């Protein structure tokens, strides 16, 4: 499909817990659809010229969340058609409103155990610092699940699936045949 495909009426935004596969699935979707992809965390790292963990440490979470919203708006204005959001992008009510109003949102659901397996090392994951990572992921999911549900047009289970399979499920959910 080309970027001019009438099947993509709104950008596809991927939300979910860290380790759900948002970045990998976004890349697959972008390749298959031939559209511009925006990985919000990667853009922030590039613009700030430092890893997210360093940014959290240096500027704090509030600064990072503000940048997250700015970059999400920039991606939408620039015409990104697939957006990989950070795991906490839904924490801000303004971000949730923007996602609901401007995007077709797919919640990539992952269990905390599977997320931890995929993440491997918690190095570079500031919200997991200083805690039992599995318990922290479970707590994050419990607190964020209602927010993911609030913005989600579609819910896609990711456990036991690779990025290609999850991309297939996202495309099926949005009505685009592979």
- Give the annotated binding-site residues for substrate: 41, 65, 87, 144
Torsion sign across C-alpha atoms 35, 39, 42, 48:
positive
What distances in angstroms separate CA 135 from CA 122, 142, 148, 167, 177, one per listed residue? 13, 11, 19, 28, 38
Residues annotated in the binding site, as ranges?
A: 19-24, 41, 65, 87, 125, 144, 161
DSSP state of 22: H
- The candidate with the shortest Cα–Cα distance to 16, out of 148, 142, 152, is 148
Residues annotated in the binding site for ATP, as ranges?
A: 19-24, 125, 161
Residues annotated in the binding site for Mg(2+), as ranges?
A: 23
d(CA 10, CA 100): 11
Q: How many CA atoms lie within 13 A of 111 on its CB side?
A: 6
Residue listed under structure tokens 């001019």: 4
């Amino acid at each position: 499909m080309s970027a001019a495909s009438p099947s993509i009426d709104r950008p596809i935004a991927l939300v979910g817990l860290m380790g759900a596969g948002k970045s990998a699935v976004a890349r697959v979707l972008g390749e298959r659809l031939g559209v511009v992809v925006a990985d919000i965390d990667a853009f922030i790292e590039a613009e700030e010229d430092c890893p997210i963990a360093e940014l959290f440490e240096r500027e704090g979470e509030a600064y990072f969340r503000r940048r997250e919203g700015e970059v999400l708006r920039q991606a939408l204005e620039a015409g990104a058609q697939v957006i990989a959001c950070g795991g906490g992008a839904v924490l801000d009510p303004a971000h949730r409103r923007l996602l609901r109003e401007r995007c077709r949102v797919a919640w990539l659901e992952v269990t905390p155990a599977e997320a931890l397996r995929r993440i491997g090392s918690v190095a570079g994951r500031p919200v997991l610092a200083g805690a039992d990572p599995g318990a922290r992921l479970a707590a994050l999911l419990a607190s964020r699940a209602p927010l993911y549900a609030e913005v989600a047009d579609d819910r896609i289970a990711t456990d036991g699936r690779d990025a290609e399979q999850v991309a297939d499920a996202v495309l099926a959910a949005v009505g685009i045949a592979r």
